[in-house]
Structure 1
Amino acid sequence: MTGSVDPQTRIAIVFLLQAITAGALFTRVPDIQAGLALSEAALGVALIGQPVGNLATLFVASAVLEHAGTRRIMLFGLPMLAICAGLAAVAPNSIALFAVFLVYGSAFALTNLAMNVEADRSEAAVGRRFMNRCHGVASAGLLLTSLFGAVLRGAGVAPSEHLVLMTVPIGVGALALILPLQPAPPRLHDGTRPRRFIAIPTMMTLLLVGFVLSGVLLEGGARAWSIIYMRDSFTAPDWLDSLALSAFLATMAVGRLLADGWTERYGPPTVARALMALACLGLLIVVLAPVPIAALFGFALIGLGTSVIYPLTLSAAARLKDRPSSENVAAVTMASSMIVLAAPAVLGSIATHYGIRMTFAVLVPATMLSFALAFVLSPKRD
């Protein structure tokens, strides 16, 4: 049966499995903290392992991918993510938890690069876009696995039972999907830049980072601050506060699932500008919302507006012809990850000194920057 599944569907399911693993792990982090009796500070130190492993690996991820190939990396990386999730649930102390998250971050960086590069190569092979759809499947998977994790938490299921048992279906699914996969041929490039072991950003990739800036900041801001915004801005039940993040994730998933058709019809720059205008409108509604329903509508617009920013950026990076696509994708991912690493502290400081609404107000200029830089997505670079 698995032999009848086309390569594009296989890649989309890889995105889904990665999202399920990530969502399951981070849904249970509060329970892991309680089980180890860690303070917020100690947990924060342990969680730093993930971005440290991610960034350290991204420097050399392109060289590893060009040597090992996308199929081998996905075949190794996807089960490793599930294994790390299981190990995090049974870690005996904060030092062990840091080590697990360090390995998790490294495996995530490699797997994420491999599946995005393979998705782009498959797009080139079939002549149709589906990168946004892959990310849409991942967004839907992240939303569903987060809700499932919440149900298990409510039912009193231990994180060790949840995460350790998850490794088996994820591992079996990865083997069934990836072993029969025939990787698409790499994109051709003109080799005008020397091949480097470390993925150094170029001027074009830095422009792409400027474009994706609003997407990563808005997504990070919504994930970290949307529920807190609702709690601090209105007098409403907890379940209504929680809907802010759900509204954001749901419309982001819908936008990504539909965006490939829009992109093929109207072109990446036009689609990006239209959706960034929606994101900016959503931000303004959130900043000025007088009632919770208006705020929820604003977060839904932000989710839809930012839905295509990251996938379109990766596609544009992969289509540059100055060096191997994996090197450009790794450079963009590395630079944007550095921004994400610093963003929570900056936004948190703004919220502390100027109020939670101002946290979202300061993101409006970032959407304007993305609007202005949408020309870097021009299909003339294919």
Structure 2
Amino acid sequence: MTSARWRIIALFFTHALAAGAIHTRIPDLQVAMGLSEGQLGLVLMGQPLGALSMFLFASAIIERFGPRRAILAVLPVVIITAALATVLLNPVALFMLLALNGLGFSLSNIAMNVEADRVEAATGARVMNTCHGVWSVGFLITSLLGATLRGLHVDPAIHLWALAPVLIVLLLVVVVPMPVMPPRPHSGEKVRKLALPTLATLGLVAFGLGAGLTEGASRAWSIIYLRDSFDVPPFVESLALPALLAAMAAGRLLADRVIDRFGPVRVARLLSALAVAGMVLIVLSPNAYVALLGFVVVGMGICVLYPLMLSAAARIGDRPASQNVAATTLIFQLVNLGAPALIGAVAQGLGVRLAFAMLIPLLVLTFAMAGRLKPRPAS
């Protein structure tokens, strides 16, 4: 059981390194292709669009082949498409590569969250938030690496192509020896080919949406926000994403004990209120350093809201955990599909500052829907 816990934690770390490398180079790709903020927003829709093509079928694939084999099959797609994006400098090509990247990301993301839930069920100890904390550490490391290489003016192609073989070897070392964990018990319903949403999963999406969109927007636009709003060196610009991720990682690594003591609902309400305060600080920041502080506060606020949503979905118990996790993530990504274009259009017309301001009402909704974290049967 100890091996299973440490391998699933290591898998989350590897997944973050694979998924996060391209995000610090998006501003460089934007400049290389001469894209406006609005055009970039449309191109960035490729990733959630690609993810949508997989969410409906992810549960059936995972139940048929198991999380381990699914991850081994699709995580290399995430790694290779990120590298290819640096040499196929065309908006249509980047859109298509991001769509493939999103497909691989979505299936591997659902599979490893299902596996983390299986480890929790088999061991009787929380591991989901620790896994997401380590994921944030991995994303932070790859973001800091990207920030450093941007500061040194290293070409994105050299960065991502050198990283690709390292990540594939790490993936094989971690995943190939993973023990097979039994699925979580559920009542009555057989596995279906399509993981359709229920009222219970829709309620959880309403809770997690603000945090998820805030994290996604920060990944794509935080560096651009500092670049366009303040006169600071590229290295300082690149610290926006690591600031958010460092706070998220710290919060997630400490969260399991806090949630065990105070319960998920109380913790979620406190953190969502903190996220609102941090986003207000970002929107009203007079300089880059106050904005960086705002990203730290937002990172602390949203740190465990998304994993709490996934854990609650996996524990509903009316059908296989993979179906509820996939259905919850499907609806989440459907809403997320239009977010890059909307944020890009607002950023181009009114500035990135106001684009971030649009996220405040969604974080308030997260606060209001925190009660959905209590286990309840789907309707």
TM-score (normalizing by structure 2): 0.87
Structure-1 residue corresponding to 2:171: 174
CA apart distance, 1:123: 1.0
TM alignment of 1:72-221, pairs within 5 A: 72-91=69-88, 97-155=94-152, 157-191=154-188, 193=189, 195-221=191-217
Structure-2 residue corresponding to 1:372: 368
CA apart distance, 1:74: 1.5
What percent of counterpart residues are identical? 49
TM alignment of 1:1-382, pairs within 5 A: 6-29=3-26, 38-40=33-35, 47-91=44-88, 97-155=94-152, 157-191=154-188, 193=189, 195-230=191-226, 239-351=235-347, 356-378=352-374
Specify whether residues 372 and 158 from structure 1 end up closer, same or farther in structure 2 by C-alpha distance, changes over 3 A only. closer
Secondary structure at the aligned position of 1:6 is classed as: helix
- Aligned-partner Cα distance in 2 for 1:365–1:46: 25
Calculate the aligned-residue CA RMSD, in Å. 2.9
Secondary structure at the aligned position of 1:251 is classed as: helix
- Aligned-partner Cα distance in 1 for 2:231–2:158: 36
Matched AA of 1:200: L
- Aligned-partner Cα distance in 2 for 1:94–1:293: 33
Secondary structure at the aligned position of 1:26 is classed as: helix
Secondary structure at the aligned position of 1:40 is classed as: coil
Specify whether residues 220 and 30 from structure 1 end up closer, same or farther in structure 2 by C-alpha distance, changes over 3 A only. closer
Q: What whole-Å deviation, never above 9, does each CA across 1:192-244 have from its counterpart, x for those lacking one? A: x5643121111000000100111022223333444454456556555544443
Contact 2:42 2:344 in 1 (8 A): no
Q: Which moved more, 1:202-211 or 1:48-57?
A: 48-57
- Aligned-partner Cα distance in 2 for 1:283–1:228: 16
- Aligned-partner Cα distance in 1 for 2:200–2:264: 16
Specify whether residues 93 and 301 from structure 1 end up closer, same or farther in structure 2 by C-alpha distance, changes over 3 A only. closer
Matched AA of 1:277: A
Q: Which one scores higher on RCO, CA 8 angstroms, separation ≥ 6?
A: 2
- Aligned-partner Cα distance in 1 for 2:92–2:239: 35
CA apart distance, 1:52: 2.5
Contact 2:70 2:111 in 1 (8 A): yes
Matched AA of 1:295: A
CA apart distance, 1:267: 1.1
Specify whether residues 78 and 348 from structure 1 end up closer, same or farther in structure 2 by C-alpha distance, changes over 3 A only. closer
Secondary structure at the aligned position of 2:335 is classed as: helix
Specify whether residues 367 and 102 from structure 1 end up closer, same or farther in structure 2 by C-alpha distance, changes over 3 A only. closer
- Aligned-partner Cα distance in 2 for 1:9–1:93: 40
Specify whether residues 71 and 90 from structure 1 end up closer, same or farther in structure 2 by C-alpha distance, changes over 3 A only. same
Runs of 5+ in structure 2 lacking a partner? none
Specify whether residues 343 and 96 from structure 1 end up closer, same or farther in structure 2 by C-alpha distance, changes over 3 A only. closer
| Bigger Rg, structure 1 or 2 | 1
Matched AA of 1:108: F
Contact 1:279 1:367 in 2 (8 A): yes
CA apart distance, 1:291: 5.0
Matched AA of 2:78: L
- Aligned-partner Cα distance in 2 for 1:195–1:15: 26
CA apart distance, 1:48: 4.4
